[in-house]
Amino acid sequence: MERNRTLLLIAPAVLVIGFFMLIPMFIALAYSFLTANPYGGVLPPPTFDAYVQFLFQRDFDDSLVYSPSYIFIILRSVYLAVATTAICLVLGLPVAWYIVCQSEARRRFLLFVITLPFWINTLIRTYCWILILRDEGVANNLLRHLGLIAQPLPLLYNDGSILLGLVYTFLPFMVLPIYSTLERIDPRLIEAAYDLYATRMAVFRRVVWPLAKPGALAGATLVFAPSLGSFLAPDLLGGGKKLLIGSLIQMQFTSSRNWPFGAALSTVVTVAVLLVLVWRTRQTYRRDQRGREQRA
Amino acid sequence: MSAKPVIFDWRRTPGLPSFTALIVAFLYAPLLVLVIYSFNASRMTTVWSGFSLQWFVQVAHNGDIRGAALNSLIIAVAATIASTAIATAAALALERGVMPFGRGLVTGMIAMPLVVPEIIVAITTLVFFSALGMHYGLLNLIIAHTVFCIPFAVLPIRARLLDMGGTLEEAGRDLYADEWQLFRRITLPLLMPAIGAGAIMAFVVSLDDFLISMMVSSAGSTTLPVYVYGMMRLGVTPEVNAISTILLVVSLVFVTAALLLGRRYQRTA
């Protein structure tokens, strides 16, 4: 295929994503430096107000008062996203390893089983947990029937339920990349380790884990980024009272009508995510190069 | 010395099968709870009082739900066609094209809708349409959906191109087929199952999308998930359970079809 034809074929994708995704990001960046229109949208005077708002609140007399509440929301979001990633890793790694150890047919079946929920609407998957966790939900009913509790436990609307919803939503994102790196493992490496009297634990630590690490890293990116900006889990399972960045951003474009602040928040999140993405792409690129050199 | 040597079977780790079973249960039990509840006769969603299909009947008779479902369908079909065409071209360029530079950049760009958190895509799209003064209802949604469907459609098509290699195309070239003949007679027929799988993936992703649709949609262009979210906010009702179950089953059926398509081409490869 010649060069012009290649260009022609790639152009629609680049144009569509560039025009409707990259440019909008820059427009959002520009909006973050404009003045909020209290009726929604923005007004032209340029200002840094949106970024000042991260740390300060404008008082009635127009003086700035230090107010850490937004920083707390950001920190809480990061903390929940990190916790989600860690839990997904702990749960996902053994599952990925188990799948790798199975026969070809079983592998395929298990992968199907693990991936399937990912394709179900997140809205519905999150809603299921309301049915389970609410005061009259399955969990509380069960505990009451067993006589373990008299009053329903407040299982819903806390950090725990948000975390549960996030792990539930993003767990497949961790299993798949780890699986695909482990799948290429050379069984002789493991057998060699056993022959050299390595214990199960040592084999895992010294052979399996180093090989799984690139996959775990890829999985961590895939889990961390969407959890950081998640909206549904905090909204439905957190009751919308405990804000995370995702719901905070959404609010600025709906009830709070502060588009510049919303745009500033999303700019910060985007930059964070893109940095991680660029770093990751460069790493995989380097690994591919190394692989190519070895094969050559 | 008749003692058998201890053979370590590294493929068997004690406890791992049950751990995996627990994880699978964790993934599916909540869905099962939903489905069971949706067949519950009682309006009180807490207790089981017999099997009933009445909530599904009620959902089917709800005009708002039907309208929202129609919107979702129109958007999904349009976005699927657009994104699959774009994705097929892009996959061909990336796997078969001559790109002295920028391959990584373009790949990263196509993957962007997958990696950037949905809320960001949602609000940047909203800001973009409002900055341009574009208020075309369904068309806005179709555009937004096309963008994030592209990477999902690219994945299976690109994987298939990589899988089948270029030998058949080279053979065709040796027999003096021109580029168009090559594409029509060799590449496209071999690629068709993957294009089908990509299209179904795009369709499901579009049908399931909630956050972007919610931010971009206006009165009159409400999609089904956006409508269902509005119902959920008002509380747990049997209607929500029923419509959620319907959406769940639709996704499952389509994705299973897509994965089976993908499997078929793997076997023929």
Residue B133 within a domain: yes
| Closest-CA residue to A73 (of A228, A274, A270, A239) | A228
Amino acid at A185: I
| Closest-CA residue to A82 (of A168, A205, A167) | A167
Residue B142 within a domain: yes
Length of chain A: 296
| Prediction pTM value | 0.86
Tell me the C-alpha distance between B20 and B18, whole Å.
5
A257-284, pLDDT tens digit by residue? 888 998 999 888 888 887 877 777 777 7
A126-152, pLDDT tens digit by residue? 999 999 998 888 888 888 888 888 888
Does the distance separating the beta carbons of B124 and A10 come in below 8 Å? no
Structure tokens given for A143: 């505990």
Q: Which domain holds residue B231?
A: 56-268
For the four alpha carbons of A12, B208, A268 and A24, in that order, the dihedral sign comes to positive
Residue B9 within a domain: no
Question: Minimal Cα–Cα distance from A58 to chain B, Å?
Answer: 25
Tell me the C-alpha distance between A262 and A242, whole Å.
17
**Contacts B169 to A, Cβ<8 Å:** none
What is residue B163's predicted lDDT score, i.e. its pLDDT? Answer: 81
Amino acid at B90: A
- What is the DSSP secondary structure assignment for residue A135, as one 8-state letter? T
- Which phi and psi (to 5°) does residue A40 adopt? 100, 150
What is residue B269's predicted lDDT score, i.e. its pLDDT? Answer: 42
Q: Is B60 on the interface with A (CB under 8 A)?
A: no
Residue B6 within a domain: no
Q: What percent of chain A has pLDDT over 70?
A: 95
Q: Is A41 on the interface with B (CB under 8 A)?
A: yes
- Taking residues A12-31, report their average pLDDT: 90
**Chain pair A-B, CB pairs under 8 angstroms:** 262
Query: If you average pLDDT over each of A81-85, A288-292, B37-41, B218-222, which comes out highest?
Result: A81-85
Res A240 pLDDT > 70:
no
Tell me the C-alpha distance between A123 and A248, whole Å.
18
- Which phi and psi (to 5°) does residue A33 adopt? -105, 15
Inter-residue contact B190 to B169 (CB < 8 Å) = no
Tell me the C-alpha distance between A2 and A80, whole Å.
49
Three-class SS state of A55: coil
Q: What percent of chain A has pLDDT over 90?
A: 20
What is residue A222's predicted lDDT score, i.e. its pLDDT? Answer: 86
| Closest-CA residue to A262 (of A10, A22, A11, A49) | A49
Chain A, nearest residue to B204 by Cα: A119
What is residue B73's predicted lDDT score, i.e. its pLDDT? Answer: 94
Best mutation target, B18, B98, B120, to test chain A (most A CBs within 10 A): B120
Closest Cβ opposite residue A131 in set B33, B86, B108: B33
For the four alpha carbons of A248, A252, A258 and A260, in that order, the dihedral sign comes to positive
What is residue A38's predicted lDDT score, i.e. its pLDDT? Answer: 78
Chain B, nearest residue to A231 by Cα: B119
Query: If you average pLDDT over each of A30-44, A98-112, A141-155, which comes out highest?
Result: A98-112
| Closest-CA residue to B88 (of B206, B201, B194, B163) | B194
Question: Minimal Cα–Cα distance from A3 to chain B, Å?
Answer: 5
Q: Is A249 on the interface with B (CB under 8 A)?
A: yes
Three-class SS state of A161: helix
**Contacts A171 to B, Cβ<8 Å:** 23, 27
What is residue A295's predicted lDDT score, i.e. its pLDDT? Answer: 59
Does the distance separating the beta carbons of B31 and A120 come in below 8 Å? yes
Residue B22 within a domain: no
Residue B164 within a domain: yes
Q: What is the ipTM of this complex?
A: 0.85
Does the distance separating the beta carbons of B150 and A270 come in below 8 Å? no
**Contacts B31 to A, Cβ<8 Å:** 117, 120, 125, 128
A163-210, pLDDT tens digit by residue? 999 999 999 999 999 998 888 888 888 888 888 887 778 888 888 888
Amino acid at A179: Y
Best mutation target, B124, B149, B233, to test chain A (most A CBs within 10 A): B124
Inter-residue contact A5 to B179 (CB < 8 Å) = yes
Tell me the C-alpha distance between A7 and B172, whole Å.
23
Residue B38 within a domain: no
Alpha-carbon A62 to chain mean position: 38
Q: What is the CATH number of the domain that holds B103?
A: 1.10.3720.10
Give contacts of A 208-237 with B, CB under 8 A. 221-222, 225-226, 228-232, 236
Question: Minimal Cα–Cα distance from A125 to chain B, Å?
Answer: 7
Three-class SS state of A36: strand
- Taking residues A52-65, report their average pLDDT: 73
3-state helix, strand, coil in chain A (%, to 5): 75, 5, 25
Inter-residue contact B212 to B145 (CB < 8 Å) = yes
What is residue B8's predicted lDDT score, i.e. its pLDDT? Answer: 61
Closest Cβ opposite residue A6 in set B37, B93, B104: B93
Chain A, nearest residue to B206 by Cα: A121
Q: Mean pLDDT for chain A?
A: 85
Which H or E run includes A244? Answer: none
State how far the alpha carbon of A203 is from the alpha carbons of A59, A195, A207, A208, A209, in Å: 61, 11, 5, 6, 8
Amino acid at A92: G
Give contacts of A 145-204 with B, CB under 8 A. 168, 171-172, 187, 190-191, 194, 200, 203
Beta bridge partner(s), residue A36: A42
- For domain A70-290, which CATH number applies: 3.40.50.20, 1.10.3720.10, 2.40.40.20, 3.10.20.30? 1.10.3720.10
Residue B7 within a domain: no
| pLDDT tens-digit profile, chain B (269 residues) | 455 555 567 777 778 899 999 999 999 999 999 999 888 887 776 677 778 888 888 888 888 899 999 999 999 999 999 999 999 999 998 888 887 777 888 888 888 888 788 899 999 999 899 888 888 888 999 999 999 999 999 988 988 888 887 888 888 888 888 888 888 888 888 889 889 989 998 999 999 899 999 988 877 789 999 999 999 888 888 889 999 999 999 999 988 888 787 766 554 44
Find all residues with CB under 8 Å of A46, minimum gap 6, and list them. A33, A34, A35
Best mutation target, B6, B16, B27, to test chain A (most A CBs within 10 A): B27
Structural domains counted in chain B: 1
